[in-house]
Structure 1
Amino acid sequence: MSETPLLRVEGLAKRYGALKAVDGVSFDLWPGEVLAVVGESGSGKSTLLGCVAGLAESDAGSISYDSRHDGIVDLRALSEARRRWLLRTEWGYVHQNPRDGLRLGITAGGNIGERLMAVGARHYGRIREEAQEWLERVEIEAPRIDHLPRTFSGGMQQRLQIARNLVSRPRLIFMDEPTGGLDVSVQARLLDLMRTLVTELQLSVIIVTHDLAVARLLSHRMMVMQRGRVVEAGLTDQILDDPQHSYSQLLVASILQG
């Protein structure tokens, strides 16, 4: 394992008026590691993800990232343009609603190709060929390359969004409830695909989910959030099999009872 974390978050805080949405959260993410952030709605997990990914501005704390070309950078001090560049190149962001992460007015191939062009690809034939390869990799038939995303099912849209994010070979992926709103059978297929791709590409991932089964299947470590704070953190299986905090115990018990 690398001696330097890919991402280090220390004392991160975000307020909305009197509400402490994120309250002094700290963690490290290591290369090739999947970290699940779990908790009920309103626990602060999605706000935390947005702050770390630069989609929301935090009020306090530090976020450092070991970038591919510039070494360790202070994410809170980066310009908006530099953050956007990271999101297009070294990072990916998979939204719960795939329509938030896709360009609905351009074809499936165009959605993937656009990301390649953002990192410098210019040869149309190669871009189209790579887009087709990625469609097949996420189990979308190659002839659908010229179809608009709105003609796809929800599960196919989510797989297309994943392909769009991964085509540029990012190092870090943020996922916000990626299986939310999908039928159980579709969820299972998507989770299996995600686990395969994360392993093959050695991705580092922060995944926000309220579904502990998703956390168990995909993540190495887990953080449990309640009212903006991390109340328990550790190996995923350890927390799910033997939760120590009363809130973690409640979450696990609610799944068992369900």
Structure 2
Amino acid sequence: MASPQPLLRVRGIGKRYGDRVALQDASFDLWPGEVLAIVGESGSGKSTLLNAVAARDKPDAGSVQFQTRSAGLREVFAMSEAEQRLLARTDWGFVHQNAAEGLRMDVSAGANVGERLMGLGERHYGRLRATASEWLARVEIDPARIDDAPRTFSGGMRQRLQIARNLVTRPRLVFMDEPTSGLDVSVQARLLDLLRQLTRQMQLAAIVVTHDLAVARLLAHRMMVMQRGRVVEAGLTDQLLDDPQHPYTQLLVSSVLQP
């Protein structure tokens, strides 16, 4: 990566829920334009790590630093709530597994896309509508459906609309929690192809949580494998999948252990 500093620096993240250790001493760097997959079976801690790094659930230990446009690397949890909200609306995006959690289901598709732009001060109706129409086309939704509510859309269309809503502000980092889970295989394939195109075109950094190693191979430059709240192996995606070193990664790859 060309940048001399990481876009995101995560060190020693830990999280407990009562007596249960959900996450222990997780650390990594993420570089501009890089896609990182976090994989592991259910309960391995991957979603806990994603939510902690995305400042959706404050960790009990560790630090998350983000390369801001104006002040360089800043500790996210030292930011004010207003600064965190601004970050979430501008340089960050979050794609939920269930698209309904990331959309306003009873307002139009165009309003869903335009809302983030309005949060940055855009008020011109014509520009908002034109940009929303452009983004619907980019995520393969017929712009003629700009006035339709997401509740009338299929699952795959909702997920594509959620992606458009997140990317319209041209963020530098997007968090994705099982973005293809629950979709038909053919719909998954189209969505993955779209995500791969958009991350490359926009030089977008992304952290993708998935239990599907095929998703990791298709989307991610690097991969982290989690087991019982710990990162047990990390490296280049193809290298880990073709020559896993840790016994747990070997089980995942051989499909002896069903994720």
* TM superposition score category, shorter chain reference: over 0.9
For residue 256 of structure 1, report the CA deviation from its aligned partner.
Answer: 10
Partner residue, 1:77: 78
Percentage of pairs with the same residue:
68
Q: Which residue of 2 aligns with 1:213?
A: 214
Give the drift of 1:70.
2.6
Answering whether residue 29 of structure 2 is matched by residue 9 of structure 1, we say: no
| Partner residue in 2 for 1:226 | 227
Q: Partner residue of 1:62?
A: 63
Which letter maps to 2:5? T
Which consecutive unaligned segments of at least 5 residues does structure 2 have? none
The letter for the 2-side match of 1:142 is P
Shift of 1:83: 1.0
How many residues in Structure 1 have an aligned counterpart in Structure 2? 258
Name the counterpart of 2:196. Answer: 195
Shift of 1:69: 2.4
Shift of 1:257: 9.4
Q: Find out whether 1:183 has 2:184 as its counterpart.
A: yes
Task: Extract unaligned runs of 5+ from structure 1.
Answer: none
Aligned to 2:143: 142
Q: Which moved more, 1:109-118 or 1:72-81?
A: 72-81
1:89-136 CA deviation, whole Å, 9 max, x = no partner?
000000000000000121000000101111121111001000000000
> Which residue of structure 2 lines up, in the alignment, with residue 107 of structure 1?
108
**8 Å CA contact retained: 2:251, 2:257:** no
Change (3 A) 1:257 1:94: closer
After TM superposition, the score normalised by the length of structure 2 is: 0.98
Q: 2:93 is paired with a residue of what secondary structure?
A: strand
Alpha-carbon contact 2:192-2:215 (below 8 Å) kept: yes
**Which residue in the other structure is 1:158 paired with?**
159
Q: What secondary structure sits across from 2:15 in the alignment?
A: strand
Letter in 1 for 2:136: L
1:108-127 matches, within 5 Å, as: 108-127=109-128
Q: Tell me, in whole angstroms, the C-alpha distance in 1 between the residues paired with 2:256 and 2:163.
A: 28
| Alpha-carbon separation, structure 1, partners of 2:79 and 2:147 | 37
- After TM superposition, the score normalised by the length of structure 1 is 0.98
Q: CA RMSD in A?
A: 1.3
Q: 2:133 and 2:54 mapped to 1: Cα distance?
A: 28
**Residues 187-214 of structure 1 deviation map (CA, whole Å, 9 limit, x = unaligned):** 0000000000000000000000000000
SS at match of 1:146: coil
